Amino acid sequence: MTAEAIYRELKARGHKLTPQRELIIGVLLNAAGPMTAQAIFEAVARKHPHISFDTVYRNLGLLSDLGLVNRLRLRKRFSCHYEIAGSHRHHLVCLGCGASFPLAYCPFEGVAEHLQEQGGFRIVDHAFEIYGYCQMCDRQAKPDGE
């Protein structure tokens, strides 16, 4: 999803493009991967020093509610991470270092339709993460020679 598409969608849904929102969107668009609210706040604060964490957090909530940003709820010591919505994705999440790796496909595809047909439940969205250890953390956790 491009910045322009996000801006158009915000306006179409009755929301202003504030300087703070523009910076938050820019940070997420330029991110190498999903970011915590704290990391987004720190990046935005470099350009807008008077912004509060609360402002960043509320805007992330709005952007997430509008479907413009994905909110990944990670378990254990890692909290929520955010990324521009664009395409529908799921992630592998390392329990060692907290890194997340997007999957190139949706493992739930086809299952949702089956559940709707069999269960009488209309599914409108789904989200899940798969937890384990990345190669680096897995190597570090194993004793030599394994």
Q: What's domain 87-146's superfamily in CATH?
A: Ferric-uptake regulator, C-terminal dimerisarion domain (3.30.1490.190)
Reported pTM: 0.60
Mean pLDDT computed over every residue of the chain: 83
**Which residues fall within 8 angstroms of residue 81, CB to CB, at 6 or more apart?**
34, 35, 36, 71, 72, 74, 100
Residue 29, class by beta-carbon neighbours within 10 Å (0-12 exposed, 13-18 middle, 19+ buried)?
middle
Give the residue-averaged pLDDT of 74-97.
Answer: 69
- How confident is the model at residue 145, as a pLDDT? 46
Does residue 15 carry a pLDDT above 90? yes
Dihedral pair phi/psi, residue 15, rounded to 5°? -115, 145
- Stated as kind and residue range, the H or E segment containing 100 is strand 100-102
Dihedral pair phi/psi, residue 43, rounded to 5°? -70, -40
The pLDDT tens digits of the residues spanning 21-75 come to 999 999 999 998 888 888 999 999 999 999 999 999 999 999 988 989 988 766 5
For domain 1-86, give the CATH number: 1.10.10.10
Domain ranges of the chain: 1-86, 87-146
